[in-house]
Amino acid sequence: MGNKNKTISFRVSEDAFERLRDIADERDLSLSAVFRDYVDTLVAHDGQVRVVPEHELDGGDEDDSTFPPKVEVSKSFVREHERLELEADHLREQLEEHKRYVTELRQRLEDETADEEVIHLDELDDEDEADDERPYRYT
């Protein structure tokens, strides 16, 4: 069918629950988001995840430095990304403005054609065959 989410439930001690709630509050997340992140990380790394305190991440042995992976991004890359986001926002605004303008023009056209009679050029040619002598002047 498709991707269906499954629910996982388990029991923890009250102390562990309070500590998890504190962690979630520190990171401004819900408890379910903390668990979803952990499960996603566990699945993405094929079960090779260790939960360690943050202070041990920097001072650990060489194996600790490989996880979690850290990537440094240059400021120019970040600036270019921000510039592209701003440009995309500007283009979206222009597109919306253009859509409003086209809608307005269509509305005007509908209003004008409802009030006026439409004259087809072919019909004018039929009438003019009898009046070929009459000169036309385009200005």
Distance CA 76, CA 84 (A): 12
- Tell me what pLDDT residue 79 has: 92
Provide the b/e sequence for 9-43 (b: ≥16 CB within 10 Å).
Answer: eeeeeeeeeeeeeeebeeeeeeeeeeeeeeeeeee
- DSSP class of 50: -
- Look up the pTM and report it: 0.34
pLDDT tens column, 13-67: 888 888 888 888 888 888 888 888 878 888 888 878 777 777 776 655 555 456 6
In angstroms, the CA 33 to CA 118 distance is 63
Which 3 state secondary structure label does DSSP give 3?
A: coil
Give the three-state DSSP class for 12.
coil
pLDDT at 93: 96
Angstrom distance (rounded) from CA 44 to CA 35: 14
Q: What is the per-residue pLDDT across 97-139, written as a single tens digit (0 to 9) for each?
A: 999 999 999 998 888 776 666 666 777 766 655 555 556 666 5
Q: Does residue 123 sit in helix, strand or coil?
A: helix
